[in-house]
Chains A and B, each alone.
Chain A
Amino acid sequence: MDNIRERLLGCFATVFPDLSAGEVPRASMSSVATWDSMATINLMMVIEEEFAIQVPPEDLERLVSFESVLSYLQRAEVPAA
């Protein structure tokens, strides 16, 4: 589980380079000004690459924060790195 969290932290750091390490776990669409619809697409592309998954469009609407993405990946039982 920790491994998923670390990898997800890396994904967020790539897409939102202005966030500090402490800010990433609390990041959400409402708290991060640069997290717009295009950033969501970029974030999903990076996450899909990293975890070798495909996120269905209907799930995207729920992935609005670091925590919600982390829970989603933990439930999805993504492959190990």
Chain B
Amino acid sequence: MKFAEAIRIVQAKAPAGARPLAVALACGCTAEQLKVFLTAHLKTLFPDRGATVAAGLYGDCLGNLERLRATRAEALAVLLEWPDLDPRLGLRAAGGWGPAELADIVATVEAQATRFEAALTRAAEAMPVALCLPTLPFPPAPLMPGWRLADCELQVRARVYALAAHAVRLPGVRLLNPQRLDQLSPPAERLDVRADLLSGFPYRPPHASTVAELLARLLQDAPPKKGLITDLDDTLWRGLLGEVGADGVSWSLDRHSHAHALYQQLLRSLAETGVLIAVASKNDPARVEEAFRRQDLLLPRDRVFPVEAHWGSKSESVGRILRAWNVGADSVVFVDDSPMELAEVKAAHLALETVFFPTGQDQAVYELLARLRDLFGKASVGAEDGIRLASLRGAAEQRQAAEAASADRDAFLRGTEAELTLSTDKRTTEPRALELVNKTNQFNLNGRHYTEGEWRDYRARPDTFVYRVSYRDRFGPLGTIAVLAGRRERGRICVDTWVLSCRAFSRRIEHRCVALLFEHLQAGEVAFDFQATPRNGPLQEFFAGLLGGPPAGCVCLPKATFVRSCPALYHQVKVVTHG
């Protein structure tokens, strides 16, 4: 992004009614231009928010960090550079680069890094923090020639990495990956000596823009994609199954097809972190199963669900997979080596992200793997991720069982042995609730998303409640599948956020959630801050069933109305108030 473009984006008015997004920027350089870039990238990534950036004083990154954490900012971006650890490592100081000074610089950096660790720890308790380690070249202070790594430089760099290792373990701290920064902004094209000496702004504009963009992305923490649908021939493996048979397809070094092994390895890793993996292939299904029985396949058959192998169109296969997963196309990536197949699928599923698999081009496959990591990467892997595939299979079995028992729905539900646990402890820092709120579209009260900072502030308010609902039945556990967040207002209950995972539909869990609100909060009426969205049809149908007509605006539901419309519920309910 050019600086002029950034200025124009910053000057553009936020949409009417946009919620503010206040971000604090702690750095030691002149912050004005960096503020412009960071604001512009935040406005680009959060188009429905009114992004503003506040910065501190020149030359006092640590002090700025301490002061800004006390502000009402929603998040904090911290940009460290060498002079923030010792001014003599910058170009605007001339305190000496002799042997004695270098030893003193190492000692100063040690002490200053310790202070930064303490300040970051305190900041992380108050708000999410995006941290960028020094990006500029180490100054020519060491006595050795530049191609030889000097002990003092090594000690300083080691201390900075120790600081980073401390910070990244703090909840809420996200660290900018220097490797990605190196790819986007070559190290030799970052420093602007003239601008640094002139105004205290040491960055060339393209580098400042890149740093600001990556910091904004760290703060955005975009939800990852949920599922990947892969082709088989010349994608999951090299070769055409129909021509060479199950033993003829390959993914090995000696057959020059190892790039496919790396792809399989990545898919397995994604599956182990809860990403759904399915197959859409024009193939003989018996041959596909035979190939999946090969012991050396790095992606086990039981990690793949469903497998659509036949001679029909891939767009139809993808449609069936999306229904089996019950997720929207915009959460899914389709990988195939055929541009024609990619186009056919894209035409039928516009929101789906289609990715070309460059068979035979190892470098391009490597880049594809990095791209898939970007699309599916997540900060942490929880217990929910491990059971997602099992619960989907369970849901498919449950649907089949329910269809068989459709004549007596109640008898079927009674026999599911459903157990529902309501957790009311809103102090918990586990990330699943926010993740569910931000990625659920179909059963979502109003489509409202929260940043980590907003969610933290919401939970901290004394008048709010946050309920998490987890579920299991004889088909298996579903984990945390619903979140209800609201507040008491003038004697009644107002629900601001309510989401229910699509994996949990058709079990009357939504009815149980409302029943629990009435029971647990002893309310006579509950007001739901409902807003229709293009995708929350299932929730609209639920309200229409209770109210006798489509909902419009805020839904006020008296207990008597709910009791009249609520079907029989068969869940065993447990309430957990702590932990």
Residues of A within 8 A of B (CB): 11, 14-15, 17, 37-38, 41-42, 45-46, 49-50, 54, 56-57, 60
Whether A49 and B32, one on each chain, are in contact in the complex, defined by CB atoms closer than 8 angstroms, is no
| Known A42-B3, A45-B205: A14·B8 in contact at CB below 8 Å | yes
Whether A49 and B2, one on each chain, are in contact in the complex, defined by CB atoms closer than 8 angstroms, is yes
Chain B: residues with Cβ within 8 Å of the partner, total of 17
Cα of A60 to Cα of B195 in the assembled complex, Å: 12
Whether B3 and A45, one on each chain, are in contact in the complex, defined by CB atoms closer than 8 angstroms, is yes
Binary per-residue interface labels of chain B (1-42) against chain A in the complex, 1 for a CB within 8 Å, 0 otherwise: 011100110010000000000000000001011001000000
Cα of A29 to Cα of B542 in the assembled complex, Å: 64
Residues of B within 8 A of A (CB): 2-4, 7-8, 11, 30, 32-33, 36, 194-195, 197-199, 201, 205
Cβ contacts under 8 Å, B33 to chain A: 41-42, 45
Whether B199 and A41, one on each chain, are in contact in the complex, defined by CB atoms closer than 8 angstroms, is yes
Whether A57 and B3, one on each chain, are in contact in the complex, defined by CB atoms closer than 8 angstroms, is no
Cα of A76 to Cα of B248 in the assembled complex, Å: 67
User: Which residue of B3, B197, B199 contacts A49 across the interface (Cβ within 8 Å)?
Assistant: B3
Whether B194 and A46, one on each chain, are in contact in the complex, defined by CB atoms closer than 8 angstroms, is no
User: Which residue of B7, B11, B195, B199 contacts A46 across the interface (Cβ within 8 Å)?
Assistant: B7
Whether B7 and A14, one on each chain, are in contact in the complex, defined by CB atoms closer than 8 angstroms, is yes
Whether A41 and B194, one on each chain, are in contact in the complex, defined by CB atoms closer than 8 angstroms, is no
User: Which residue of A41, A49, A54 contacts B4 across the interface (Cβ within 8 Å)?
Assistant: A49
Cβ contacts under 8 Å, A37 to chain B: 199
Cβ contacts under 8 Å, B195 to chain A: 41
| Known A14-B7, A17-B11, A49-B4: A54·B32 in contact at CB below 8 Å | no
Cβ contacts under 8 Å, A14 to chain B: 4, 7-8
Whether B201 and A41, one on each chain, are in contact in the complex, defined by CB atoms closer than 8 angstroms, is yes
Cα of A11 to Cα of B205 in the assembled complex, Å: 16
Cβ contacts under 8 Å, A17 to chain B: 11
Cα of A42 to Cα of B30 in the assembled complex, Å: 12
Cα of A41 to Cα of B36 in the assembled complex, Å: 13
Cα of A42 to Cα of B201 in the assembled complex, Å: 11
Whether B194 and A54, one on each chain, are in contact in the complex, defined by CB atoms closer than 8 angstroms, is yes
Whether A46 and B32, one on each chain, are in contact in the complex, defined by CB atoms closer than 8 angstroms, is no
Cα of A45 to Cα of B205 in the assembled complex, Å: 8
Cβ contacts under 8 Å, B201 to chain A: 41
| Known A41-B199, A54-B194: A49·B11 in contact at CB below 8 Å | no
Cα of A17 to Cα of B7 in the assembled complex, Å: 10
What are 20 A-B contacts with C-beta separation under 8 Å? A14-B4, A14-B7, A14-B8, A38-B32, A41-B30, A41-B32, A41-B33, A41-B198, A41-B201, A42-B3, A42-B7, A42-B32, A46-B3, A46-B4, A46-B7, A49-B3, A49-B205, A54-B194, A57-B194, A57-B198
Cβ contacts under 8 Å, B7 to chain A: 14-15, 42, 46
Nearest Cβ in chain B — how far from A20, in angstroms? 15
Cβ contacts under 8 Å, A38 to chain B: 32
Q: A15-B7, A54-B194 are in contact. List 5 more A-B contacts (CB 8 A).
A: A14-B8, A37-B199, A41-B199, A46-B3, A49-B2
Cβ contacts under 8 Å, B2 to chain A: 49
